[in-house]
C-alpha cells in the first residue's frame, strides 16, 4: 500500500491467462477498502475469465464505496476491446 495516497496497487502478470484467476483473487483479497490501482502496464495477454473477474471486482469494490483505477498496456487495451470490456474496466471506449 502506498501510505501517502492510501492506495493498494495490484500488479498484473504479463500473461493473465484464465487459469490465473485464483492467484489474482488471492492478490485482490489483500486489498483494503478505499482506492485500488490495477497496474496492467506489463500485460501482454489477458484471458476472458481474468478480464471478467477484474470487471466484477471493480463493480463490487465501487459498490462498497471504493475506487478502482487501472493503467493498461496497449496489449491489455486491445484484449479488453476485443472482449467488449474496455469501457467497464478502463472507463473509456477504445
Mean pLDDT of 51-73: 95
- When divided into structural domains, the chain yields a total of 1
Rounded Cα gap, residues 8 and 1, in angstroms: 4
Would residue 15 count as lying in a domain?
yes
Cell readout for 90 is 478502463
* Domain encompassing residue 27: 7-89
Q: What proportion of the chain, given as a percentage, has pLDDT over 70?
A: 91
Rounded Cα gap, residues 67 and 12, in angstroms: 18
> In CATH, what number is assigned to the domain containing residue 42?
3.30.750.24
Q: Is the model's pLDDT at 93 over the cut of 80? A: no
Mean pLDDT of 38-51: 96
Would residue 14 count as lying in a domain?
yes
Each residue's pLDDT tens digit, 24-44? 999 998 998 899 999 999 999
Confidence of residue 2 (pLDDT cuts 50, 70, 90): very low
Tell me the H-state helices in 19-85. 21-29, 48-63, 74-83
pLDDT of amino acid 4: 52
Amino acid at each position: 500500500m502506498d501510505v501517502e495516497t492510501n492506495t493498494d496497487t495490484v500488479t498484473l502478470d504479463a500473461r493473465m491467462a484464465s487459469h490465473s484467476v485464483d492467484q489474482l483473487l488471492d492478490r485482490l483479497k489483500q486489498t483494503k477498502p478505499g482506492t485500488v490501482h490495477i497496474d496492467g502496464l506489463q500485460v501482454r495477454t489477458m484471458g476472458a475469465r481474468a478480464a471478467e473477474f477484474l470487471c466484477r471486482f471493480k463493480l463490487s469494490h465501487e459498490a462498497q464505496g471504493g475506487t478502482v483505477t487501472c493503467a493498461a498496456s496497449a496489449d491489455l487495451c486491445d484484449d479488453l476491446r476485443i472482449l467488449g470490456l474496455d469501457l467497464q474496466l478502463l472507463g473509456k471506449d477504445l
